[in-house]
Amino acid sequence: MTRTIQQLFDLTGKTALITGGSRGLGLQLAHALGEAGAKVLISSRKAADLEEACAELQAAGIDARWVAADCAKESDIQRLADETLQRLGDVDILVNNAGASWGAPAEDHPLEAWDKVMNLNVRGYFLLSQIIAKKSMIPRKTGRIINLASIAGLNGNPPAMQTIAYNTSKGAVINFTRALAAEWGKYNITVNAVCPGFFPSKMTAGLLQAMGEENLAAAAPLKRLGDDEDLKGLCVLYASDAGKHITGQWLAVDGGVSVVTGA
């Protein structure tokens, strides 16, 4: 029997792990999945931030837990996966969101900063996806993986935005998403990416200050920045049975910026 749209988007009984989930876009995604009925476990490096975010989620009626871990460290990634599986059981939805950026002219970009960005933004996504898939998704032949990329992975930046490592890492995330979707489709695991545009966040604070929120908003056809709701719909689509036939895809949530920049 064909399900209703409400049934297709319902995540009741599902478990979601969200990295970088204590603030910003990650917390928004945790709200989205929890509001759709999933149990959520959020992770980031700082316990205090996680406690505050978890309290916010629980106050909204969401079954939320947390584990402090640094997704730039292989040992922490392994521990995060093990603790999540021990405490909540199988993981149905993995959101790879933890990330870093670094601003510097390409000709003077420090190698250690390049390695830091690539290690967290690409290697960390790969390692956690691999572990969760092998321990939970592949044996059950089901799973949803959502990777946070960026419109920075679609093209170059204006001269004032000197983030060569970040752009490179997010371009890698997009093709990582495609390659993984092609390999793991046989296990009924979907892998998709979200490409946010400009959202107010701790990571973008310096950019917003340097370029001005009004100027960045003016660059978008919708004439605004992203807000605390704008990623929710796509996240739940990717995570739920409403999106069960979507894999290997990316979608920009950017107010139309990528349309006018030709991405």
Q: Which residues are catalytic?
A: 166
* SS3 sequence of 106-165: HHHCCHHHHHHHHHHHHHHHHHHHHHHHHHHHHHHCCEEEEEECCHHHCCCCCCCCCEHH
Q: Give the pairing type, strands 250-253 and 64-68.
A: unpaired
The pair of structure tokens assigned to 164 is 């060569």
DSSP string, the chain: -PPPHHHHH--TT-EEEEETTTSHHHHHHHHHHHHTT-EEEEEES-HHHHHHHHHHHHHTT--EEEEE--TTSHHHHHHHHHHHHHHH-S-SEEEE-------B-GGG--HHHHHHHHIIIIIHHHHHHHHHIIIIIHHHT-EEEEEE--GGGTS---TT--BHHHHHHHHHHHHHHHHHHHHHGGGTEEEEEEEE----STTTHHHHHHH-HHHHHHTSTT-S---TTTTHHHHHHHHSGGGTT--S-EEEESTTHHHHHT-
